[in-house]
């Protein structure tokens, strides 16, 4: 009632528009939103990304046109292995000689010997990679690494591995770095024993082989 009475009083006084102490150019063009503010508003308005929630669908999506590596113009190499593996192995990227699958060249033969040393073979492990293609430079572009880590973590959350072997420093960053040692991590909807080790392509030195053997033994604590 008080507001209605005030409005009626101003109308009787002949005031028909809002007034301001400072003059205002009503015909002027609106001030453009600063670019940074406009970008922030666009990001806030963008819908949250929804990734496939089953392993099969995610792998199909990962190997499809949405894969960040599609712009690298090199072959995409799909992950392979059982849905409930005894061990999940993630390398940094395919090797230059990989064609039919990950670790299928000389590095793959070394990898097979590593698995045999702890009583496993390829059929019992799930083998994936941080990047599903190999950059022409042989190095993952720094500006894309964060996105690939995000996708790898989602991938692993669908596998929920009890044991995870990370080969190569870029792959190590999936769990924020394990310093070539053993960590129990809780990033994938379960507790995972994660070990980072040398990629087989770097095991041509006896000292590296010795260190890799020590790291593999960390995975064998308990039963595999």
Span 177-211, pLDDT tens digits: 554 556 788 889 999 999 999 898 888 887 888 88
* Short-list 98, 76, 83, CA closest to 199: 98
Tens digits of per-residue pLDDT, 132-171?
999 999 999 999 999 999 999 999 999 999 999 999 999 9
Report d(CA 28, CA 11) in Å as an integer: 28
Which residues, other chains included, contact 108 with Cβ-Cβ below 8 Å and sequence gap of 6+? 95, 98, 102, 200
R_g of the chain, CA atoms, integer Å? 28
For residue 23, the SS3 value is: coil
* Short-list 109, 155, 106, 159, CA closest to 132: 155
Do 199 and 90 form a contact (C-beta atoms < 8 A)? no
pTM: 0.75
């Amino acid at each position: 009632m008080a507001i209605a009475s005030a409005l009626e009083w101003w109308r009787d006084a002949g005031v028909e528009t809002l007034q301001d102490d400072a003059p205002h150019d009503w015909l002027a063009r609106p001030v453009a939103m600063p670019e940074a503010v406009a970008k922030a508003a666009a990001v806030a308005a963008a819908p949250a990304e929804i990734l496939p929630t089953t392993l099969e669908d995610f792998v199909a999506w990962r190997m499809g046109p949405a894969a960040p590596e599609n712009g690298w113009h090199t072959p995409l190499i799909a992950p392979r292995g059982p849905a409930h593996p005894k061990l999940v192995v993630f390398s940094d990227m395919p090797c230059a000689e990989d064609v039919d699958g990950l670790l299928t060249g000389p590095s793959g033969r070394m990898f097979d010997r590593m698995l045999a040393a702890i009583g496993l073979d390829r059929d019992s492990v799930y083998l994936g990679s941080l990047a599903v293609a190999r950059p022409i430079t042989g190095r993952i572009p720094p500006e894309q690494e964060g996105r690939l880590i995000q996708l790898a973590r989602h991938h692993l959350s669908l596998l929920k591995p009890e044991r995870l072997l990370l080969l190569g420093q870029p792959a190590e960053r999936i769990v924020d770095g394990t310093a070539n040692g053993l960590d129990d991590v809780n990033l994938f909807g379960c507790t995972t024993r994660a070990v980072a080790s040398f990629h087989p392509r770097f095991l041509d030195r006896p000292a590296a082989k010795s260190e890799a053997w020590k790291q593999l033994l960390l995975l064998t604590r308990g039963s595999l």
